[in-house]
Chain A
Amino acid sequence: MRSAFIEELVALAAVHDNIALIVGDLGFGVIEPFADRFPDRFFNAGVAEQNMASMAAGMASEGYHVFTYSIANFPTFRCAEQIRNDIAYHGLPVTTVAVGAGLAYGSLGYSHHAVQDYALMRAMPGMMIAAPGDPLEVRACLRWLVANPGPSYLRLGKSGDPRFHDAVPDIEPGKWLTLRDGDRILLSTGAALGAALARAQSSHQGFGVCSLPLWGMATKASQLDQASTAQTVIAMEDHLADGGFGSWLWEAVSADPAIAARISSIALSDTVCGQVGSQAALNAIGGLTCTQ
């Protein structure tokens, strides 16, 4: 997802001269194509995420669409208040980009496990969460975010993520993308898409698979109609169950108890917190993927 991100961002920045990229001293081997081509719009804020986020807001208030880039929890939790007050409350076009979301940096330990970020970001009014499921959804998300500038959070996996679409899909906020048809649905967000497709061939045979790459507080209203067309919806996420995507979906449909009763979730258990290992191993320990 990282290379799709930077390729697409460079392509968009060639057209939109207000796109700027600020990195928090991370991105070696990733961000150079942007830095080399647009040196006037590239900044390294240093290891200083609070200043990075507020400064991005300041630039955005002067007409830039700023992308801040760092890994795991650094561009979110470290500067949560700056995102809340300076970016989201002011309604400014800053896209916070986190790479290595979920357990992609599994071996690096708890500091690098981004498994509570949805809980943080979805609590902010006006914040659009972009959680693509594969590199083609990354491109689709970026195109949407640039066409609709505002406070947003782009949650990326790592390099070498598999592709699940044939072409860049058309996406809209709150709208489920169908990858496999079915009356019962595994509805995935972010990098859990691979796990959802795998479950549809193992523990959940016969299930359809949908991906929801754009969501947030503002898109809740569109969920009930979509959920009502399925017999069962299982939300899937590489994030703790608490405050995550499944919680969001359940809240979104809870006005109709009959529909809400069809919703359940497969998310990470907190038993994964503090454990160390490969992403695959930790996703299995956390209960996202099947262990057979």
Chain B
Amino acid sequence: MVARADASHIGSALSITDIVAVLYSGALRVDPAEPRMPGRDRFILSKGHACVAIYAALAETGFFPRELLKSYGTDQSPLMAHISHKVPGAEFSAGALGHGLSFGTGKALAAARRGFDWRTVVLMSDGEMAEGSNWEAMMFAAHHRLDRLTAIIDYNKLQSLGTVADTLGLEPLAAKLTAFGWTVREVDGHDHAALATVLSPTRWEAGKPQALIAHTTKGKGVGFMENRVEWHYKSPNPEQLAEALAGLAENGDA
């Protein structure tokens, strides 16, 4: 998709692919036959630039035909290069960072006030934690005890121009989130079994919103992309695409 569209952000998408795979293979209560099912879990991709991972998961699980993926990033395609709420199964259009958690907090608040048990799950990037709006949402969600809200932070430790640590360091991240009143867990963001366990519907702690720090590798699965800032921007050429797919096939991930 990315190569065909000559698009960016493949590194960001590969970073969350395992998380998304676990979410859409059972962790989330969703139904491709009824994308707007009232009792569904609400999934929000706040790092909208990584949308190819979601589009692939939605196609794979039957929200729309796989054939549509070929239109990604082309003129007037519904699959624009940031997540779009006009795509079946996508709740929210993002692209500007620091919006998804607040939007999700509103959804979780609506569910809480109306006594619904469905979950709101927001997948965020590490770099976007510098947006102040996220910390506004953190305060609100904790104050209102929104314990059906889960924020997953894709902590691949790289952002646009370099490492997170060299840009605006997040550490001690878990302590910060805990201090903001959230219950916090950390996980290997590429370990499907661990992700499936921690993302199950069971509350971690009554009365507290949940933050999952997922330690990930940007560009995961493609050796020459892993931990390389330039793959936030570059699109693979045909040779690179073949090499990437061959590598994934060898590892049984393609």
Contact = CB atoms under 8 A, between A and B. Distances in A.
Instruction: Pick the most buried of B99, B113, B137: most chain A CB atoms within 10 A of its CB.
Output: B99
Interface in A22-51: 40-41, 43, 45-46, 48, 50-51
Contact of A82 (B102, B105, B113): B102
Contacts of B107: 58-59, 61-62
Nearest to B131: A50
Contacts of A59: 106-107, 109-110
A202 interface: no
Contact of A62 (B96, B111, B144): B111
A70 B40 CA distance: 33
A5 to B, nearest CB: 22
Interface string A51-70: 10111111111111000000
Interface stretch (B18-26, B87-95, B174-182, B235-243): B87-95
A144 B86 CA distance: 27
Given A58-B104, A89-B93, A50 B109 contact: no
Contacts of A62: 106-107, 110-111, 114
B140 A51 contact: yes
Given A50-B132, A85-B96, A90-B93, A63 B110 contact: yes
Contacts of A51: 102, 105, 133, 136-137, 140
B102 A40 contact: no
A54 B103 contact: yes
Contacts of B140: 45-46, 48, 51, 55
Given A48-B136, A90-B93, A58 B105 contact: yes
B66 interface: no
A126 to B, nearest CB: 14
Interface residues of A, number: 26
A90 B98 CA distance: 16
A87 B116 CA distance: 23
B133 A54 contact: yes
Contacts of A89: 93
A78 to B, nearest CB: 11
Nearest to A79: B133
Contacts of A60: 106
A64 B109 CA distance: 11
Contacts of A117: none
B170 interface: no
Contacts, number: 86
A81 interface: yes
Contacts of A43: 109, 144
A240 B75 CA distance: 39
A55 B96 contact: no
A90 B99 CA distance: 13
Given A40-B113, A62-B111, A85-B95, A46 B106 contact: no
Contacts of B114: 62
A55 B102 contact: yes
Interface string A116-129: 00000000000000
A54 to B, nearest CB: 3
B244 interface: no
Contact of A48 (B93, B94, B111, B139): B139
B85 interface: yes
B133 to A, nearest CB: 4
A22 to B, nearest CB: 9
A37 to B, nearest CB: 15
A86 B109 CA distance: 16
A85 B93 contact: yes
Given A45-B136, A62-B106, 12 more contacts: A40-B113, A55-B102, A55-B106, A55-B137, A58-B104, A58-B109, A58-B110, A85-B95, A85-B96, A89-B93, A90-B92, A90-B93
Interface of A: 40-41, 43, 45-46, 48, 50-51, 53-64, 81-82, 85-86, 89-90
12 contacts: A45-B140, A54-B99, A55-B106, A55-B137, A58-B105, A58-B108, A58-B110, A59-B106, A59-B110, A61-B103, A81-B96, A90-B85
Name the 3 nearest CB pairs between A and B, nearest first. Answer: A58-B106, A54-B102, A51-B136
